[in-house]
Amino acid sequence: MTTMLLYKEIKALNRDEHKNLKLKAAENCAFAAQTHLVPLAGLEFFQAARHYPIVFIGQGEQLMPIALLGLKEGHNAYLDAAQQWQANTYVPAFVRRYPFVLAQDASQNFTVCFDAAYSGWNEEAGRQLFTDEGENSAYLNEMIQFLQNFTHEMERTRLLVSTLNELGLLTPRNLQLTHANGESFVLRDFQAIDEAKFAALSDEQVLSLHKSGFLGWIYAHLMSLGNANQLFERFINNKPADAQVADETRH
């Protein structure tokens, strides 16, 4: 899965070329309407677990945790009719950082980039990126700090995945969802922590997970799986009357 979800035309931010660029606040989250999953940092698990199923997808070094936003590719079930994120629902940092992103080169150097296709860019109104003297604005510095924090937390999350793999805790899963009206759905091709293997860890291994901060993340992930039923409810409620419910989805 690419981490460039949401982004269409990424450009490096240049203080000379973009000195007059301003960002108008988004009216809605339409830019995220066609993504049904986003990468999630481990630090977000506690908040995200209240609203989304948190599962692991990918293989090898590409394996990562994601917040599942929809059961149908190209559909975000957490946007309302006005394309606003559902009230009182946690918005993943991957979404909140948009339209900015940090790009990393082979030398581990980072460059602030942005999605030039985002409709909020202009030179008349909005948040300034640079001052009249050509320095970073307070807003831009705030965003850079947010991007750096997110990148750091994603690095910690990769360490979580590596640890789970070393302990053999992740296993392929299918999840059978059944609605009260009799309709069913099979969520396939994801990985989750095997609770039996988790329970069989030694005291020393559990203590190590606790000291690394991963133990709470594991519990949050396991608790979040119950949100799949709520997501299925959203899927059914938002489905056109003449649509047929698919019996499986692939991610």
Structure confidence by residue, pLDDT tens digits, 197-212: 999 999 999 999 999 9
Q: Report pLDDT for 245.
A: 41
- pLDDT > 90 fraction of the chain, expressed in percent and rounded: 71
Q: Helix (H, G, I), strand (E, B), or coil: what is residue 87? A: coil
Give the model's confidence band at 234: pLDDT under 50 very low, under 70 low, under 90 confident, else very high: confident
Give the model's confidence band at 190: pLDDT under 50 very low, under 70 low, under 90 confident, else very high: very high
Is the CB of residue 79 less than 8 Å from the CB of residue 32?
yes
- pLDDT > 70 fraction of the chain, expressed in percent and rounded: 92
Q: Report pLDDT for 107.
A: 66
Give me the mean pLDDT over the 13-22 stretch: 94
Residue with tokens 């990985």: 191
Q: Is the pLDDT of residue 247 over 60?
A: no
Give the model's confidence band at 51: pLDDT under 50 very low, under 70 low, under 90 confident, else very high: very high
Give me the mean pLDDT over the 157-163 stretch: 97
Give me the mean pLDDT over the 149-164 stretch: 96
CA-CA distance, 157 to 163, in Å (whole number)? Answer: 10
CA angle 20/29/235 to nearest 5° reads 165
Q: Report pLDDT for 106.
A: 65
Q: Report pLDDT for 246.
A: 43
User: Which residues fall within 8 angstroms of residue 187, CB to CB, at 6 or more apart?
Assistant: 53, 71, 174, 175, 177, 228, 248, 249
Q: Report the Cα 81 to chain-centroid distance in Å.
A: 21
Q: Is the pLDDT of residue 244 over 50?
A: no
Q: Report pLDDT for 3.
A: 52
pLDDT digit string, tens, across residues 55-90: 999 987 789 999 999 988 888 999 988 999 999 999
- The H-or-E segment that residue 66 falls in is strand 64-68
Q: Which residue has the higher pLDDT, 209 or 234?
A: 209
Give me the mean pLDDT over the 2-8 stretch: 76
What's the mean per-residue pLDDT of the chain? 89
Give the model's confidence band at 105: pLDDT under 50 very low, under 70 low, under 90 confident, else very high: confident
CA-CA distance, 25 to 123, in Å (whole number)? Answer: 13
CA-CA distance, 53 to 185, in Å (whole number)? Answer: 15
CA-CA distance, 99 to 122, in Å (whole number)? Answer: 13
Is the CB of residue 229 less than 8 Å from the CB of residue 238?
no
0.85 surpassed by pTM: yes
Q: Report pLDDT for 121.
A: 95
CA-CA distance, 99 to 121, in Å (whole number)? Answer: 10
Q: Is the pLDDT of residue 173 over 80?
A: yes
Is the CB of residue 54 less than 8 Å from the CB of residue 106?
no
Give the model's confidence band at 168: pLDDT under 50 very low, under 70 low, under 90 confident, else very high: very high
